[in-house]
Structure 1
Amino acid sequence: MPEVRPLDGIKVLDLSRILAGPYCTQYLGEMGADVVKVEPPGHGDDTRLWGPPFVGEDGAAETVYFLAANRNKRGIVLDLKSERGREAVRRLVAGADVLVENFRPGTLEKWGLSYAELAELNPRLIHVSITGFGQTGPYRDRPGYDLVAQAMGGVMGLTGEPDGAPAKVGLPVADLNAGTWAIIAVLMALQARHTTGRGQYLDVSLLDAQLAWHVYAAGAHFYDAPRPRRMGSAHPSIVPYQAYPVSDGWLIVAIGSEKLWRVLCRVLGLDIAEDPKFATNAARAAHRDELNTRLGEVLGTRTVEDWMKTFDAVSIPAAPIKDIDDVYADPWAAERDQVVRLPHPTVGTYFGNGFPIKASETRPRPTSAPPTLGQHTAEVLAELGYSAAEIAEF
């Protein structure tokens, strides 16, 4: 029986660039969708210039940034500022299930490619628009970037050391989070289409997606409770739950229950499990600094490896703080199929990180490396009915 993927037969038109949109469409492709990525003539997607680092030979080098979010796609070049380019998009839309784009509000309307106009061509079209701040509201027309959304969405205000400057997260989480919600939006609309028979317009913004992360921080605001603040690696509600220096580096310890607290005290040789100042999580939170001093004095005496052996033996949640090189050197990464290798026409071998869900029946899988600029233009235009002479005019 042939392998089935969850989005086999779904056609996706990707007009997006940079990260949130391409991240969304990369994984729609991994789930089986036929994704056609449209890039402007010249340099294409902005991230084709976002280097270093570059890989490949001079003159045909690709940026690591572009490669990271554009596998599983066929790449074509169209000039959407021209009527010829826009007409080709309309032909693509007529046969598409999903359109993903991240133009600033009003841009597609100016080109005659609004959702209302495209839905007349294809009432089953699911149109996902990803912007910085959404299609409505006072910030609608502002340009949206990951760093801006992290700043305005409260994430930077909660990230960093208590006495230090606000810090962005080490990865572009606003873009990646919005891209993930865009995937959810597509799957939601595909399911709804089974019932309604119609597509719909989906407005996804980086800032909205950041607020979806607030969870208990938003609860503290709504219930007028003490607000979360920058605490480094510490947790506002759970103690101990943070990074500690040990003799040769750093180790996190995450004690999420009173049972674990008693086990921790035993293996550390600390007779404080029933001390009224530390016996409950609420008490430990009230005496956080004193407790961390006590724990730090013991933890600092041994190495990461020594402590991990001790903690693993009694199932205490703990971990070394790894850098990226350490993560992919861990045998776990290969065991969980978290390293993807695919042939690439100029780079040689494309490497990427894997799909995070393991399915027993409809398994997503990578199919092709990111395209070179315009690699599939002639192929896709021919599928749309353009003659060889017409394709040459593009």
Structure 2
Amino acid sequence: MTEALSGIKVLDLTRVLAGPLCTMVLGDLGAEVIKIEAPGGSDDTRTWGPPFKNEVSAYYLCANRNKKSLTVNLKSEEGKEIIRNLINECDVLIHNFKTGTMERLGLDYESLSNINKGLVYCSITGFGETGPYKHLPGYDYIIQAMCGLMSITGDSESGPQKVGVAITDILTGLYACVGIQAALIEKSKSGTGQKLDISLFDAGVSSLVNIASNYLMSEKIPGLLGNVHANIVPYQTFDTSNGKMVIAIGNDRQFEKFTHIIGSESLITDPLFINNAKRVENRDLLIPILQQALGAKPTEYWQELCNENGIPCGPINNLEKVFQNEQVLVREMVIEKEHPEAGKIKLVGSPLKLSKTPVQVKQHPPLPGEHTNEILKGLGYTEDQIIEYKNKNIV
């Protein structure tokens, strides 16, 4: 079966999450991805845990399927020569070394594009390759703090909070994936590649979307938003008689239906709540009224009524409930794969559902250097050379 990115070859010099997530998505779509690590394995996430299964980290498994592994010592001239030889047959190179590292190694865009003029070269850094912060390291947690995301996440009791996953890493990886595919399309027209400068900080700022737009228009600094929406009411968590749930009313028509469901029809004509702008203005008056009504019945009761009437809502599920959910299972968002050390492993499936070129998971997250011999032989290295390089810790 043909895959969407079949024939595209990616050299992956990334580790941790943003870069590996990007290259995993490209691999899921059919690209051949070669993951480069130092001899013995140098992706930090291989040691991040617990949990481990037979010493294999769950964190590493989350972003490294559909890749081959080649170990190379980039500090050696022979190792750098291996990379240059691979560049001849690659469409994409992606790295997430700090700004200036690839230049010091002689593996910068200008040098490698002289070897392969069609190379799409993607740099992922904390703050980008320009500006006063360009040399600073950037981890997701720091970026969430500095980009403003934490200033609106949490409430007055909790104080500023980070998102529960490394969201700026995830967004950066997806932006890089989009940019790489756009550059590949442009290359198909011009015949030449280009460099992409993608940063976690830029992705973090972009994640502020409507909150950023609100500030840029009003110049009012938003506070901690907790579980409420800045521009829509009611759009938040509510206590029910047996737990919590989210009600997300997106327009006045839905609000009218909702008032009938909870038996508070008089709210429809109340001038304080007659439209969304008024409800936002008077949320402190409206929310206690809604909370009193919703607190009288269990979550399941309200969920059934809301679903029947087209009112967006949902329970707050823990991960056990998520991965037992029929919708998750039907959508193949849990998959199983055999791993040479961990045995049978479960992975989160791909959200990309393509009718003609569906995602295929063909390769387990690789062991360090699992494909070193195969790849080097494909480049013309002999068995004796490979043995010598291994003995010298070059591969």
After TM superposition, is the score higher than 0.5? yes
How many residue pairs were aligned?
A: 388
- 1:38-117 aligned within 5 A: 38-56=36-54, 61-117=55-111
Superposed, 1:151-230 pairs within 5 Å as 151-230=145-224
Alignment of 1:113-152 (within 5 A): 113-152=107-146
- For residue 8 of structure 2, what is the aligned residue in structure 1? 10
Partner SS, residue 187 of structure 1: helix
Aligned to 1:236: 230
Distance in 1 between residues matched to 2:347 and 2:123, nearest whole Å: 26
Q: Does structure 1 residue 342 correspond to structure 2 residue 337?
A: yes
Counterpart residue number, 1:392: 387
Q: Post-superposition shift, 1:5?
A: 0.8
Shifted more, 253-262 versus 214-223: the winner is 214-223
Q: Is the 8 A contact 2:40 2:369 kept in 1?
A: no
Aligned counterpart, 1:320: 315
Query: Structure 1 residue 374 and structure 2 residue 369: aligned?
Result: yes
AA aligned to 2:328 is A
Q: Secondary structure at the match of 1:14?
A: strand
2:290 pairs, out of 282, 290, 295, with 295
SS of corresponding position for 1:25: helix
Q: Is 1:130–1:205's contact at 8 Å kept on the other side of the alignment?
A: yes
Is 1:25 matched up with 2:23? Answer: yes
Q: CA deviation at 1:162?
A: 3.5
Task: Give how far 1:221 is off.
Answer: 2.5
Answer whether contact 2:152 2:223 (CA < 8 A) is retained.
Answer: yes
Q: Distance in 1 between matches of 2:104 and 2:231?
A: 50
Q: Which amino acid aligns with 2:4?
A: P
Letter in 2 for 1:364: V
Q: CA deviation at 1:43?
A: 4.1
TM-superposed deviation, 1:163: 4.4
Amino acid at match of 1:320: P
- Deviation string 1:317-353 (CA, Å, 9 cap, x unpaired) is 1100112221111011111111121111011112211
Cross-structure match for 1:274: 269
**In the TM superposition, what is the alpha-carbon distance from 1:218 to its structure 2 partner?**
2.1
Give the secondary structure class of the aligned counterpart of 2:253: helix
Does residue 1:286 correspond to 2:281, yes or no?
Answer: yes
Q: Which amino acid aligns with 2:48?
A: W
Paired residues of 1:217 and 1:227 also in contact (CA < 8 A):
no
Give deviations 1:147-199, integer Å, cap 9, x for gaps: 11111111111100144310000010010000000100110100000111001
Question: Could you state the TM-score of these two structures normalised by the residue count of structure 2?
Answer: 0.96
Structure 1 residues 302-313: aligned runs within 5 Å: 302-313=297-308
Q: Which residue type is aligned with residue 166 of structure 2? A: P
377-386 or 40-49, larger mean C-alpha shift:
40-49
Are the aligned partners of 1:94 and 1:122 in contact in 2 as well (CA < 8 Å)? yes
Q: Is the 8 A contact 2:41 2:71 kept in 1?
A: no
Give aligned-pair identity as a percent: 41
Distance 2:232 2:157 in 1: 20
Contact 2:5 2:26 in 1 (8 A): yes
SS at match of 2:267: coil
RMSD: 1.1
- State the one-letter code of the partner of 1:73: K
Per the TM alignment, residue 228 of structure 1 is displaced from its structure 2 partner at its CA by: 3.1
Q: CA deviation at 1:248?
A: 1.1
Q: Deviations over 1:266-307 (max 9, x none)?
A: 110112211111111111111111211111111111111111
Structure 1: give runs of 5+ residues left out of the alignment: none
Match among 240, 243, 258 for residue 246 of structure 1: 240
Q: Quick one: which amino acid aligns to residue 184 of structure 1?
A: V
What secondary structure sits across from 2:70 in the alignment? strand
Is the partner of 1:233 in helix, strand or coil? coil
How far did residue 20 of structure 1 move? 0.4
Q: Is the 8 A contact 2:211 2:230 kept in 1?
A: no
CA positional deviation for 1:365: 1.8
Query: 1:225 offset after TM fit, Å?
Result: 4.9
Instruction: Give structure 1 regions of 4+ aligned residues with deviation exceeding 4 angstroms.
Output: none
The answer to whether the Cα contact below 8 Å between 1:78 and 1:85 also exists between their aligned partners in 2 is yes
Query: Which region of structure 1 is more displaced relative to structure 2, 199-208 or 283-292?
Result: 283-292
d(CA) in 2 for partners of 1:112 and 1:226?
47
Residue of structure 1 in register with 2:393 after alignment? none
